[in-house]
Amino acid sequence: MTPSQPSEPPSPTARPSGLQRPEAGRVIAALTGVGVRRHTTDQVILDDIDWTVRAGEHWALLGANGAGKTTVLRLVGALMFPTVGAVEVLGHRLGRVDVRELRAAIGLVSGAQKVPQDATAHTVVLTGATGTVQPLWRKYDQATRERADELLAELDCKELADRPYGVCSGGQRARILIARALMADPSLLLLDEPFNALDLPSREDLIDALHRLAVGRPELATVTVTHHLEELSPAIGHAVLLRDGRVQALGPVAEVLTGERMTACFGRPIEVSRHEGRWLARSGPVEVVRAV
């Protein structure tokens, strides 16, 4: 988006000015001493959050309902500002940068996204180039249309190109939305409960697609919000546990996703196991839990 044309959407697949492709290991997003309060009730939503995401890292963000996961995702996605503390995304501090440029370099996938149900999968992916709900046909050249085809193929749903989005299954919709999010060639991909309401085959198809994406795009950083360890692909290497707006644990998955820490986070006894890169969590009776 240029200063002389503030109402125009960004050019298809063009990277915003000042936002360069991050080098491997470079900081993509950083939260320092971040707190968020609801102004109307003074309720603490997040408290003293410190967290850094680097290029090529794949994070899981876990916690019970109301733990603050979506708020953290909105901060990293430049969709809101903290009450206190600092949020830096792609080298720019929120409050000192045009967040519209930042958002153009961040891919977001959420079930709350508005998508025309009668639009074909190819059309839905095309709208990711302009960041719009409805397609802006004059903005899409042949290269942009071909890129949409390539992304559908990368997410293993090329055969859905001409199918209306509204008749696609939940798993197919999730992969179409990921392809859409990748149209702007983002450095950061945020996935807000992408497995919600998926059946087992659809869940596994999506996990496979995300794993391939991580392998094929080594510079891409991802953050996945989920309630279930079973939904984590083998590519997930780091995790954050949130409880009541505070970080319970963060770091490499082997250190964070333990029975002890999951029990403390969710408030009930949880057993955790791992097999060939995939996780399994099961819970026992609530009354066994000790106070923490």
Where does the chain have alpha helices with state H?
69-76, 99-104, 121-130, 142-154, 170-182, 200-216, 253-256, 259-266
Q: Give the number of other Cβ atoms within 10 Å of residue 118's Cβ.
A: 10
Cα–Cα distance measured from residue 28 to residue 5, given in angstroms and rounded to the nearest whole number? 28
Q: Which amino acid is at 186?
A: P
Torsion over CA: 17, 99, 58, 128 (sign): negative
Instruction: Look at residue 100 in the predicted model and tell me its pLDDT.
Output: 85
- CB environment 41-54: b (16+ within 10 A), e (fewer): eeebbbbebebebb
Look at residue 19 in the predicted model and tell me its pLDDT: 53
268: number of Cβ within 10 Å: 15
Residue-level pLDDT at 287? 57
Q: Say which amino acid occupies 44.
A: V
Q: What pTM was computed for the model?
A: 0.86
CB 265 within 8 A of CB 63: yes
3-state secondary structure of 66: coil
Q: What secondary structure does DSSP assign to 40-74, as a single string?
A: TTTEEEEEEEEEEEETT-EEEEE-STTSSHHHHHH
- β-partners of residue 27 are 54
CB–CB of 174/205 below 8 Å? no
Q: Which of 183, 182, 224, 181 is nearest to 203 (CA)?
A: 224
Distance CA(116)–CA(123), nearest Å, equals: 10
Looking up tokens 């179409």 gives 176
pLDDT at 292: 47
First to last CA, the chain: 50
Question: Which residues, 6 or more positions from 60, have their beta carbon under 8 angstroms from its beta carbon?
Answer: 223, 224, 226, 232, 236, 238, 239, 240, 253
Task: Provide φ and ψ at 46, rounded to 5°.
Answer: -135, 145
Instruction: Note down pLDDT in tens along the chain; length 292 residues.
Output: 334 333 344 445 545 445 555 566 799 999 999 999 988 888 899 999 999 999 999 999 999 999 999 999 999 999 999 999 999 999 999 999 888 888 888 999 987 888 999 999 999 999 999 989 999 999 999 999 999 999 999 999 999 999 999 999 999 999 999 999 999 899 999 999 999 889 999 999 999 999 999 999 999 999 999 989 999 999 999 999 999 999 999 999 999 999 999 999 999 999 999 998 899 999 876 654 454 4
Interatomic CA distance for residues 271 and 260, integer angstroms: 8
Backbone φ and ψ of 11, nearest 5°:
-65, 145
What is the spatial order of strands in the sheet that 246-252 belongs to?
106-110, 188-192, 221-225, 58-62, 238-243, 246-252
139, containing H or E segment: none
